[in-house]
């Protein structure tokens, strides 16, 4: 163990600029200077490769007590060095447990980079891509707290609050213990990419929802008014449902459907933790939900976030850059379902507004589905021209596609995503719609739980640009 621990200490010292490798190796008083020096230099040389493999194998997430520098040295020895010949101490069985996954991740990395030898990985560009620069977005659950209180809590914990961001670049370069308020969403905090808040007490208590910014767009753009009836057609695991409930202030009703019993079970836990009380969960095929059922006669809003290829998902981009392209057959099957679900949703009689979203970047699941649905509904719905300042628009494959929103790590510093907002062209004659439709742009923060102080950086969200 001694040599690995000593190497980890040297690496940490180099990173914090306490000295050069040579100086720190000599200062370590480790007897076999040559062995230690070689181990540190080799680990350092493969640093980016090791980071990529350790991240995609989820080693540090699984082994919380294993410090990153020691992990790097041990994984170097296991995969690229001479293997453990004793000396790894209590970490040997731990590394043994992860060995198969680590080896598989190294092999996948080589395949992706089109190389066969380990050394060739050094020239093949293991630099962090834009996906790894996407920050950790944290939505404040306004059913339980408010942004000001959460900001104060983090400040008391030693985090440094930088105010409301005014550009996307500020999000990309966040470091250390700094955090910001998102320039577009007033209840969204932004932390550096590596921040892990899964164990944080505010997350555990349901005050925070760990949700990518792009995935906050659907509920925000649907903007149901408190008291209204909403369908969440493909709802589990429920992050967007809890966002809808927060916008409704728990007043009104959400009918949430999903086919998958397991996902619904974890959704029920998530909603209970988030304090959601206005939602009815049902294990049901949305295509079998009848629009003429009296239960749904007041449904003015539908959120449709159906199963998709997930080709825009960050985890996929981080683990398999460029490998997220699904087969033609799979795309066809997914698009077929998405198309049917969208056309079905548009037949609900009182429907005024619908948001269609996917975490896919494929045109077949996005613009093509939207275009066909618009054609089939024969002019009764149109695309709402939402968020005019959003920098990435739908692919111009049909007239009006620019009203759709796209998101990618490169353009919006978020996961890959697609959103289209449908609005009814005329109110149906059989339904009396008394409420004015809300604006598609973001609304001011809901009423906070305690008297709100004016934030230095507070601004009207409607006037803020999103870049």
- Contact footprint for ligand SAM (CB under 6 A): 234-240, 257-260, 263, 285-287, 305-307
Do residues 438 and 225 make contact, with C-beta atoms less than 8 angstroms apart? yes
**Can you tell me the distance from the alpha carbon of 368 to that of 398, in angstroms, rounded to the nearest whole number?**
9
Distance CA 249, CA 224 (A): 10
Query: How far is the C-alpha of 294 from the C-alpha of 296, rounded, in Å?
Result: 5
Min separation Cβ 239 and ligand SAM, Å: 4
Rg of the chain over CA atoms, in angstroms? 25
Alpha helix (H) residue ranges in 310-361: 314-319, 328-345
Measured over the CA atoms of residue 129, residue 125, residue 57 and residue 16, the dihedral's sign is negative
Closest distance between ligand SAM and the C-beta of residue 304, in Å? 9
Pseudo-torsion of CA 427, 429, 434, 436, nearest 10°?
10
- Least Å from the CB of residue 256 to ligand SAM: 9
DSSP at 176: T
- CB-wise, 21 or 287, nearer to ligand SAM? 287
CB of 271 to ligand SAM, least distance (A): 11
Distance CA 329, CA 333 (A): 6
In the complex, least distance from residue 341 CB atom to ligand SAM, rounded to whole angstroms = 7
If we measure between CA atoms, which residue out of 185, 272, 187 comes closest to residue 237?
A: 272
Residues, the chain, total?
467
55 and 109 Cβ atoms separated by less than 8 Å: no
Q: How far apart are CA 438 and CA 370, in angstroms?
A: 22
In what helix (H) or strand (E) does residue 282 lie, and over which residues does it extend? strand 279-283
When the beta carbons of 46 and 286 are compared against ligand SAM, the nearer one is 286
- Closer by beta carbon to ligand SAM, 53 or else 217: 217
Distance, CA of 107 to CA of 52 (rounded, Å): 12
- Told to judge if 343 belongs to the known catalytic residues of this protein, a careful annotator would answer no
Of 340 and 382, which has the nearer Cβ to ligand SAM? 340
Rounded to the nearest whole angstrom, what is the least distance from the CB of residue 408 to ligand SAM in the complex?
18
Residue 112 CA to its chain's centroid (Å)? 23
Nearer to ligand SAM, 30 or 257 (CB): 257
Tokens read off for 116: 């066969």
| Of 164 and 240, CB closest to ligand SAM | 240
Token duo for residue 106: 């190294």
Residue nearest ligand SAM, Cβ-based = 234
Least distance (Å) between residue 401 CB and ligand SAM: 22
CB-based contact 125:113 (threshold 8 Å):
yes
Catalytic annotation, pick one of 359, 362, 404, 466 = 359
The encoded tokens of residue 445 equal 């923060």
Is the Cβ of residue 184 or residue 342 nearer to ligand SAM in the bound state? 342
Rounded least distance, CB 373 to ligand SAM, Å:
16
- Give the residue with the Cβ less far from ligand SAM, 240 or 403: 240
Contact present, 4 and 74 (Cβ < 8 Å): yes
**H or E element that contains 231:** strand 229-232
Q: Are 164 and 116 in contact (CB under 8 A)?
A: no
Catalytic residues: 359
């Amino acid at each position: 163990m001694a040599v690995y621990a000593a190497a980890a200490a040297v690496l940490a010292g180099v990173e914090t600029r306490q000295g050069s490798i040579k100086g720190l190796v000599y200062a370590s008083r480790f007897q076999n200077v040559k062995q230690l020096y070689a181990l540190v230099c080799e680990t350092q040389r493969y640093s980016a490769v090791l980071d990529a493999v350790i991240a995609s194998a989820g080693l540090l997430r699984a082994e919380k007590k294993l410090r990153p520098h020691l992990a790097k040295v041990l994984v170097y020895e296991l995969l690229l060095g001479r293997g453990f010949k004793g000396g790894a101490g209590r970490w040997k069985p731990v590394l043994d447990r992860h060995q198969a996954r680590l080896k598989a991740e190294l092999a996948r990395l080589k395949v992706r980079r089109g190389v066969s030898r380990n050394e060739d990985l050094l020239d093949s560009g293991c630099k962090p891509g834009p996906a790894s620069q996407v920050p950790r977005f944290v939505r404040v659950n306004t059913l339980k707290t408010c942004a000001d209180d959460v900001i104060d809590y983090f400040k008391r914990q030693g985090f440094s609050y930088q105010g409301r961001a005014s550009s996307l670049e500020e999000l990309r370069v966040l470091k250390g213990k700094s955090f910001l308020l998102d320039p577009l969403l007033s209840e969204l905090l932004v932390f550096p990419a590596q921040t892990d808040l899964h164990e944080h007490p505010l997350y555990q208590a349901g005050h925070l929802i760990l949700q990518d910014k792009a995935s906050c767009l659907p509920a925000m753009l649907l903007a149901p008014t408190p008291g209204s009836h909403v369908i969440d057609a493909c709802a589990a695991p429920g992050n967007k449902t809890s966002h809808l409930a927060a916008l409704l202030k728990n007043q009104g009703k959400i009918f949430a459907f999903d086919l998958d019993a397991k996902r619904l079970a974890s959704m029920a836990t998530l909603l209970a933790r988030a304090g959601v009380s206005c939602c009815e969960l049902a294990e049901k095929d949305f295509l079998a939900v009848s629009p003429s059922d009296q239960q749904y006669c007041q449904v003015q809003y539908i959120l449709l976030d159906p199963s998709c290829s997930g080709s825009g998902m960050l985890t996929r981009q981080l683990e398999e850059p460029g490998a997220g392209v699904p087969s033609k057959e799979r795309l066809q099957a997914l698009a077929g379902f998405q198309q049917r679900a969208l056309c079905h949703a548009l037949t609900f009689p009182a429907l005024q507004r619908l948001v269609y979203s996917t975490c896919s970047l494929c045109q077949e699941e996005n613009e093509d589905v939207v275009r066909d649905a618009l054609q089939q509904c024969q002019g009764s719905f149109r695309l709402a021209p939402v968020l005019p300042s959003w920098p990435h628009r739908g692919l111009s494959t049909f007239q009006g596609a620019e009203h759709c929103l796209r998101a990618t790590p490169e353009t919006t510093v978020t996961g890959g995503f697609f959103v289209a907002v449908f609005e009814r062209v005329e109110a149906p004659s059989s339904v009396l719609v008394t409420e004015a439709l809300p604006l598609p742009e973001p609304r001011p923060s809901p009423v906070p739980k305690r008297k709100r102080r004016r934030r230095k950086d507070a601004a009207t969200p409607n006037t803020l640009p999103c870049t």
